[in-house]
Amino acid sequence: MRQQIAAANWKMNLTLDQATHLLDEILKAPHDLQAHQKVVFAVPFPYLLLAQDKISGKLNFFTAAQNCYTKSSGAYTGETSAEMLQSIGVEYVVLGHSERREYFGESNAMLEEKAGMALTYGLTPIFCCGEALQVRESGAQNDYVEKQLKESLFNLSEEQIQKMVIAYEPIWAIGTGKTATAAQAQEMHAHLRNVLARQYGDTVAGEVPILYGGSVKGSNAKELFAQPDVDGGLVGGASLIAADFGQIIDALK
């Protein structure tokens, strides 16, 4: 059964005390999750070990880094390698978030290297893709997002692509309060699954979780996650509010 994931992207938010409190609040609530349903906390690097500690013993809960570098070690001041993340027990890594693409110049080619590195060290990449508003307004969103996938992921083997999670995050919906409609999300997710199927076949494409990201909240998660090709969400703002993120976890089908 395809996995369903509620992933929290805290971005560059919270102090240590606030992070501790938020994790405690979210984790104290009972969530009736099945084996294929997962919750992933993409916390800032300084809080990864804290989050690892808080989720220990909780079967459906995992941590993610928000980035990793293209190299495994060396003179790259300020960077963090996939190998380091593996060594502390992190299981996921968010790659290619639109903020990294825009503010840090991450290209499809660089993300191809990062995805390869993450997979080499046993991390599951949550690969973000998505179009800006002007691309959507011109009607070119399907081609745009398809190109992101092709240029970053299509040199991966069948075995590797099955280990990926994809997050479709239209840039015009990130942090804007403007969510894609459930129909818009489903249309793009179905397109992405088709793109994967053309390259890797239906069975493989049917196994890759595709998350939606862009102003997901407790109030709209259920409708979005009810779409057949929407396998959960990558959540920014609402993941910083325990009650809201709790509702999002409970919206996993």
Examine residue 112 and tell whether it contacts ligand PEP (CB under 6 A).
no
Secondary structure (DSSP) of 163-205: T-EEEE--GGGTTSS-PPPHHHHHHHHHHHHHHHHHHH-HHHH
Of 119, 123, 145, 174, the one binding ligand PEP (CB under 6 A) is 174
Q: Which is nearer to ligand PEP, 213 or 246 (CB)?
A: 213
Examine residue 214 and tell whether it contacts ligand PEP (CB under 6 A).
yes
Examine residue 235 and tell whether it contacts ligand PEP (CB under 6 A).
yes
Q: Please state the closest distance from residue 212 (CB atom) to ligand PEP, in A.
A: 9
Of 125, 236, 245, 246, the one binding ligand PEP (CB under 6 A) is 236
Could you give the residue numbers annotated as active site?
97, 169
Q: Which is nearer to ligand PEP, 210 or 216 (CB)?
A: 216
Which 140-169 positions form the footprint of ligand PEP (CB under 6 A)? Answer: 169
Closest listed residue to residue 174, CA positions, set 81, 67, 99, 252: 99
Q: CA of 219: how far to CAs of 34, 108, 177, 224, in Å?
A: 22, 33, 12, 10
Distance CA 89, CA 110 (A): 24
Of 5, 6, 9, 136, the one binding ligand PEP (CB under 6 A) is 9
Examine residue 218 and tell whether it contacts ligand PEP (CB under 6 A).
no
Of 148, 215, 220, 227, the one binding ligand PEP (CB under 6 A) is 215
Q: CA of 46: how far to CAs of 107, 117, 204, in Å?
A: 26, 21, 35
**What 3-state class would DSSP assign to 228?**
coil
**What 3-state class would DSSP assign to 6?**
strand
Examine residue 213 and tell whether it contacts ligand PEP (CB under 6 A).
yes
Token readout for 11 is 């971005």
Examine residue 102 and tell whether it contacts ligand PEP (CB under 6 A).
no
Q: Give the interface with ligand PEP as residue ranges (CB under 6 A).
A: 9, 11, 97, 169, 174-175, 213-216, 234-238
